[in-house]
Amino acid sequence: MPNLLLTYKCNRNCPYCFAQERQNALNPDDPGIISWKNLVIAANYFEEAKDPLISVLGGEPTMHPEFISIYRYLLARKFTVKMFSNGMMSHEKIEGLLAALVPDRSRFIINVNQERDRAGHETKMQGQFFSELGMACSLSFNLFRPDPDMDFLLDIIGEYQLRPRIRLGLAHPIAGEPNEFISPEQYGDISETIAQFSKRCDHQGVILSLDCGFTLCDFTDAQLGMLLRSKANLKFRCGPVIDIGPDLNTWACFPLSKLRPQPLEAYPSLSALRKFYANFIVEETRKRGFAGVYKKCEPCRYRKRGQCHGGCRSYAFEEKN
């Protein structure tokens, strides 16, 4: 289901950031935070879709000045609230979250960076968050270089007794914006890194989940076997995620956020909005003769069988960058 952005503000500066341009455009007239009115409208859409899950993110969602009240409000409406955060917040906010927590319906997915991409205070603040809320936290890590060392993720899970889950995201190009991402030429290297890491996850009972845009043929049979043994969630998909911004403007996903953004209220339901983006992306990629990130995607039997979508569709729009 779609993501709801509470604010574009962030207190970190990650090289792969999807929201950098929006953060740079913030000004006193447009502080980039969701109003209560818009929050209620968006929550109504989720409720009408009979979806008990609402994913909130940013920027950094906890930087919304009324974040704790918003968090309480969404829980009071009986949503399960999955919050994507960097875990860097004041002690008062941590206390506020602890007081609001509904164990069955509160989930925090904390994005952490490797030490070389982390400021000293980041480690300290995230440690404070994990100490207090670790039982509701799992980790997320974005791959934007081909040679990451991910063992530190297992150390954090062990030290703070986090939920044994890691979401691995692959950084993709963002149409019209500079960012760091892994190009398809490097996918083979990253697949080996992930497969080797999955062996260590297996020993520690940690489940890996691959996010969108991974490509099936870049994993060897042996690598897929390692991932299967470790019970990793494998997806080789690309489809509209749908993000709803603080102003209720929506887009298919961050890499395609410049292409035909749509106002939420122009659609009667989230399913109607999803249908628009699904059709739009299929049409646009077909027009560009794009079947996947490789030439071999066109005749590929895995693509024809729906096992792989051929990587991230943002590559279809590269000439517009």
C-beta closer to ligand SF4: residue 89 or 217: 217
User: Contacting ligand SF4 (CB under 6 A), which of 311, 312, 314, 317?
Assistant: 311
**186 belongs to the binding site for ligand SF4 (CB under 6 A):** no
Contact (Cβ atoms closer than 8 angstroms) between residue 17 and residue 10: yes
Tokens of 132: 């207090």
The DSSP letter of residue 317 is G
Tokens of 161: 């007794």
Beta-bridge partner residues of 27:
30
Q: Closest approach of Cβ 170 to ligand SF4, in Å? A: 13
Applying CB under 6 A, what is the total number of residues that bind ligand SF4? 13
C-beta closer to ligand SF4: residue 22 or 303: 303
**300 belongs to the binding site for ligand SF4 (CB under 6 A):** yes
| Single-letter amino acid code for the residue at 191 | S
Q: Closest approach of Cβ 271 to ligand SF4, in Å? A: 27
Beta-bridge partner residues of 83:
56, 108
| Single-letter amino acid code for the residue at 292 | G
Provide φ and ψ at 252, rounded to 5°.
-65, -45
Q: Closest approach of Cβ 320 to ligand SF4, in Å? A: 22
C-beta closer to ligand SF4: residue 87 or 213: 213
**2 belongs to the binding site for ligand SF4 (CB under 6 A):** no
**308 belongs to the binding site for ligand SF4 (CB under 6 A):** yes
C-beta closer to ligand SF4: residue 148 or 311: 311
C-beta closer to ligand SF4: residue 58 or 310: 310
Q: Closest approach of Cβ 225 to ligand SF4, in Å? A: 17
- In angstroms and rounded to an integer, the radius of gyration of the C-alpha atoms of the chain is 19
C-beta closer to ligand SF4: residue 42 or 217: 217
CA 259 to each of CA 4, 10, 54, 255: distance values in angstroms, whole numbers, following the listed order: 18, 24, 24, 9
Contact characters 194-233, ligand SF4, x per CB under 6 A: ---------------------xxx----------------
Q: Closest approach of Cβ 212 to ligand SF4, in Å? A: 13
- Burial (CB count within 10 angstroms: exposed 0-12, middle 13-18, buried 19+), residue 306: exposed
C-beta closer to ligand SF4: residue 186 or 249: 186
Give the H/E segment covering residue 189: helix 187-204
SS3 state of residue 277: helix
Within residues 259-298, the interface with ligand SF4 by CB under 6 A covers: 292, 294, 296-297
Q: What share of the chain is helix, strand, coil (3-state, %, to 5)?
A: 45, 15, 40
C-beta closer to ligand SF4: residue 62 or 215: 215
CA distance 307 to 236: 7
**313 belongs to the binding site for ligand SF4 (CB under 6 A):** no
CA distance 51 to 74: 12
Interface ranges with ligand SF4 (CB under 6 A): 215-217, 292, 294, 296-297, 300, 302-303, 308, 310-311
